[in-house]
Amino acid sequence: MARVQLCNQEKTLPSIDFYDVGDTWAESTPTFEQKTALLKIMGGDADVDNFLKATRSNVQDLEAAVVELKAKALKDKFEETFIYGDATSEPKQFDGVRELIDTGTESDQVVAAGASGATLTLSMLDELIDAIKGGKPDILLMSRRSRRKINALVRASGGLMDSDRDSWGNFVQLWDSIPIGVNDWILDTHVVEGGVETDTTGGDCSTIYALQFGEGGLCGLTAPGHLTVEPIGSLETKDATRSRIKWYVSLALFSSIKAAALIGVQD
């Protein structure tokens, strides 16, 4: 399987000091950890019955409709794996942001709302944003429940959420000028114990992620061609034609300080 070697995943920044003339200068360098990210294969086959294709072609392009729905299913699976992918328990998957940040371990990139969770406050969001070093996050990613809670908190304070248009002309809400994104696969049933996440089901907590994208932060990996539709052709065992929708894809976190999670978010 193709692999991408991440020779230097940044862990901590170097320090800078002031010196007098003639001082001895102290050396300080950032710390790195070698990481390897593997491209994974996502996809599935879509069969179209030739009889239905022939008799319904005057209504719609059935093959195009089936392929479109299969691609939509792939998109949904990617969004779920983007959060909860775990290559340790499911070796065919890539690690999602929950594993890349490692919300099950105490660190500077894991902000706990409380030892076992707590009601979200706007101060918690500010603390999450401050966990990203070297600039603001590009997005705050959360569940719909968490977004509703932020809206309620802002209205209770007498304010209104800022909004702007994204690259496709859609309105997005902003907190501290950072776009708020919703991922429908982020669960509101996480379990938090001792300030770390122990499970994704059985509790009443959710997680908000702060992410900075790009080659120096969280970056998507893909083979040339991106998502492709490959025509397989007629099948021997049934009167149908098959198309294969596939994507060679993965995630890589080039710097641990470019992603953070606020865990234990309760309504």
User: How far apart (Å, rounded) are the C-alpha atoms in residues 66 and 171?
Assistant: 30
Strand partners, 255: 10
Rg (C-alpha) for the chain, rounded Å, is 23
C-beta separation of 164 from 172 below 8 A: yes
Give the CA-trace dihedral at 55, 61, 64, 69, to 10 degrees.
-80
Given this model, what pLDDT does residue 35 score? Answer: 72
Global pTM reads 0.87
Q: How far is CA 218 from CA 19, 36, 143, 215, in A?
A: 35, 14, 20, 7
Pairwise CA distance, residues 129 & 175, whole Å: 10
Cα gap 5→146, rounded to integer Å? 36
* Cβ contacts of 56 within 8 Å, gap of 6 or more: 62
| Cβ atoms 15, 197 nearer than 8 A | no
Do 34 and 6 contact (CB within 8 A), yes or no? Answer: yes
User: Is residue 261 exposed (0-12), middle (13-18) or buried (19+ Cβ within 10 Å)?
Assistant: buried
Please give the Cα distance from 191 to 176 (Å, whole number): 28
Instruction: Convert 10-31 to b/e letters by CB count within 10 Å (16 or more is b).
Output: beeeeeeeeeeeeeeeeeeeee
CB 189 within 8 A of CB 203: yes
The DSSP string of 44-58 is EEEEEEHHHHHHSTT
What DSSP character marks residue 100?
A: H
- pLDDT digit string (tens) for the chain, length 267 residues: 455 545 466 667 788 899 999 999 988 887 777 777 889 999 999 999 988 888 875 656 888 889 999 999 999 999 999 999 999 999 999 999 999 999 999 999 999 999 999 999 999 999 999 999 989 999 999 999 999 999 999 999 888 788 887 777 888 899 999 999 999 999 999 999 999 999 999 999 999 999 999 988 999 999 888 899 999 999 999 999 999 999 999 999 988 899 999 999 998
**Which three-class secondary structure state does DSSP give residue 185?**
coil
CA distances from 81 to 100, 188, 190 (A): 12, 16, 16
Task: Give the three-class secondary structure for 170.
Answer: coil
